Structure 1
Amino acid sequence: MSFFRCVAGVLVLARPLNSVRTVEARRHIKRWVAPTLRELAHRQQKQGPQKPEPRAGFVEWNYRSELFAFGKRLGENFELPLLQEAFTQRSYAHQEEEKQRKLGIEEVDLKIADNQQLAKKGAHIARAYVEAFLKQSLPKVPKEGQDAIASYLLSTETLAHVSSHLGTKDLIFTTEYPPSPESLAESLQAVIGALADSSGVERAFLFVRDFICTQLNQKDLLDLWTPKQPLQLLDEICQQRKLGEVEPRLLGDCGKNTVLAAYQVGIYANRQLLGKGFGEDVPTATETAALDALQSLFDIHDNRRPFDFGLQVETKNVRLG
C-alpha cells in the first residue's frame, strides 16, 4: 500500500504547478456558484444593456484633478476656474440654481457661471483661424469653396467628434448623459475661449490648427464642396484667367443604345485639355469632365500635396469679429 502512495506522490509532484492549483481551486468552488451566475446572467439579459453612467458618480472621482489632467494631456495651461466654466452648460446652471432656490439659499449665491460667453468667443476664434488657414492653404479655390470647407470644419458633427476624442464627455456639466453633439461642440468652443483667456489668442489659434484643421487630412475636398453647375463655373474661371472659351468634346463611347452605355468627354480651352470624364450619357460625362477640370485648376485633386499643418498663418491679420 505504501508503494502505491509513493507512486501517487511522485505523480502529483510531476504535475505542473498551475494544474495543481487549478485542481485545488475546482475543489473549493461551491455547487451554488454556477446556478447563481446563470441566474445573474439571465436577469441582466432580461433587463437589457446597462445604461451609461457618468464617471462623476464614482467614489474615486476627483473633478479638479481631472480638469488639471485634461490641460496637461493637451499640453496647454488653463486657469482651472475658466476651464470649469467652459464645461458648464446653461441648462445645468439653471438646474442648480433651481435646486438652490428650493433649499432657500440667498439670491446672491444663485448665479452659476455657464459657458455661453466663452463659447461665443471660441467660435469667433475658430472661424477666424480656419478661414485664414484655408485662404492661405487653398489660394486657388474660390471663396464659395473655402466657405463650404470651413462650414464642414466648424459644423456641429466635426466639433463634437473632436470634442469627444479629447475626453470632454465626462467633464461636461449638463442635464443629459451622455452629452448631445450640440453640448460637445459648444463645450469645445468654450475650451478654445478659455484657452485664449488663460494663455493668449496665439495658443488658441494653434489649438484650432492642431485639432480642427487637421480634420482635413486625407479628405476628398470634392466631397466637402461640389459646385452645383460645374460647367458654368468652369467657363467663368476660364474667362477670368483668360484661358479661352470652354469647349466639351466627345472623345469616345461604347455600348451605345444599351443599358451599359459609357461616354468619355474632354473639356478643352484654347486647344488645351483641361479635364476628362465618364458617364452613362453625354451630359453626365460633360459634368464629370468639368469637375475634373475644376479640380486641376483649383489644385484640389486626390494626388495633390498634403496640407501643411505647420504652415505659418498670418494671425496678425486675423479678425476676431
Structure 2
Amino acid sequence: MSLIRGFAVAITMAKPMNRTGTVQTCRHIKRWVSPTLRELAHRVQKQGPQKPEPRAGFIEWNYRSELFAFGKRLNEEFQLPLLQTAFTERTYAHQEQERQRKLGIAESDLHTADNVELAAKGAHIAKAYIEAYVQHSLPKVPAIGQKAITSYLLSTETLAHVSTHLGTKDLIFASEYPPSNETLANTLNAVIGALADSSGVERAFLFVRDFICTQLNQKDLLDIWTPEQPLQLLGEVCAQRKLGDPEPRLLGDCGKNTVLSAFHVGIYSNRQLLGKGFGEDVKTATETAAIDALQTLFDLHDNRRPFDFGIQLETKHVRLEA
C-alpha cells in the first residue's frame, strides 16, 4: 500500500501550477492512472502484508537521541549508558558477541552488557512498592485479595501494556521483532532498575506509582479478584469482626417453575442487611448476595472512593529487603 500512496503523492505533486503558485485542479484524470493503481494494488495483495520493520533500520534513526528523548518524555533523568543497557536483552547481547567473534575481535574485548541485573532489581522495586500501595489503598481487603490485585499489576500482560504505551518497542535490542510480551515486561522492569541507579529509589517508586499502579483506575476489582467460596469467606469475616453469623433470606422470587426463574436473596447479620443478589436459583442468588456483602465489608463497590494516585508512601512503609 505504500507504493500506491507514494504514487498518489507523485501524481498530486505533478499537478500544474499557475502564476500565483497555487495548484490548478485537473478536470479529468488521465486514463492510465486507474489501471496503474489497480496493478500496484494487485502486486501488493499478491506479495501479502508487509512485515513490520524496526525503526532502527531507517536512515534518519539516531539511537542516542531516542534514548535522551525517552527520558525527557517521562520527565526522568537517566544515565544514558544504563538506559541503553536496560533496553538490551541477553539474547541480543549473545548474538552481538558471536558476530564480533566472527569478525576477529579479541575475546577480551567481547563484552556487551545486558539487562538481566537491572530487570531483577526493577522487578524487586516494583513488587515492594505495589504491595505497599495496595495494602495502604485497600486496608479492608484480606491478604488473599491484596495478593491477587498485586499479581495483576505485576503480570506480564499489564507490564507489557504499560511498556508498549511508554514507547519502548522500537528501542529494545532483542533477537525478535516485534518484541514479545515477556520482552516488553522485562524491559520495563529494567527501566525501573536503571532509574533507581540513575536518580534514586524514590524516583523509581514514583515511576511505579504513576505508570503501573494507575492501571487500577476505573477498574472493576471483582474482575481481578472474585472469592471462590464467598459465603464461607463472609462467615469468616463476620466472625473476625464479631458481626454475627450471616443469614441468607429469600426476599422474593419470580417464575420459579419456568426457565426464566429469578430469586432475590438478602444476607443479614444481627438483623442488618449486608448484601443482596439475584440468580436463576437460590444457590446462585445466595452466592451473589454474599459477594455483594463482601464488597460492602471490603469497600470494593463501584461507588467507593477513587484510588489516590498522588500519594507518596514513605520509604519506611515499603519493605525493600534484598
- Give me the TM-score of the superposition, normalised by structure 1: 0.91
The 5-angstrom pairing of residues 1-321 of structure 1 reads 21-23=24-26, 32-321=32-321
CA contact (8 A) 2:221 2:300 kept: yes
> Residues of 2 paired with 1:317 and 1:154: CA distance?
19
> Residues of 2 paired with 1:277 and 1:287: CA distance?
8
Q: Against the structure 1 CA distance between its residues 247 and 110, is the aligned structure 2 distance closer, same or farther, given a 3 Å change threshold?
A: same
> Residues of 1 paired with 2:111 and 2:213: CA distance?
36
Report how far residue 18 of structure 1 moved. Answer: 10
Equivalent position amino acid for 1:151 in 2: S
> Residues of 1 paired with 2:233 and 2:180: CA distance?
39
**Structure 2 spans left out of the alignment, 5+ residues:** 1-19
Q: Comparing 311-320 with 200-209, which one deviates more in the overlay? A: 311-320
The total of aligned residue pairs comes to 303
CA contact (8 A) 2:132 2:319 kept: no
> Residues of 1 paired with 2:202 and 2:213: CA distance?
15
SS at match of 1:95: helix
The superposition leaves residues 138-193 of structure 1 with CA deviations (integer Å, 9 ceiling, x where unpaired) of 00001100000000000000000000000000000001111000000000000000
SS at match of 1:193: helix
Residue of structure 1 equivalent to 2:8: none
CA contact (8 A) 1:129 1:315 kept: no
> Residues of 2 paired with 1:221 and 1:34: CA distance?
55
> Residues of 2 paired with 1:34 and 1:274: CA distance?
71
CA contact (8 A) 2:231 2:287 kept: yes
CA contact (8 A) 1:253 1:262 kept: yes
> Residues of 2 paired with 1:200 and 1:314: CA distance?
14
Q: Comparing 41-50 with 201-210, which one deviates more in the overlay? A: 41-50
CA contact (8 A) 1:278 1:289 kept: yes
Report how far residue 315 of structure 1 moved. Answer: 2.2
SS at match of 1:276: strand
> Residues of 2 paired with 1:253 and 1:56: CA distance?
65
- Give me the TM-score of the superposition, normalised by structure 2: 0.91
In our comparison, the structure showing a higher alpha carbon Rg is 1
CA contact (8 A) 2:159 2:188 kept: yes
SS at match of 1:21: coil
Report how far residue 19 of structure 1 moved. Answer: 10
Report how far residue 303 of structure 1 moved. Answer: 0.9
Equivalent position amino acid for 2:154 in 1: L
Residue of structure 2 equivalent to 1:8: none
Identity within the alignment, %: 79
Equivalent position amino acid for 1:127 in 2: K
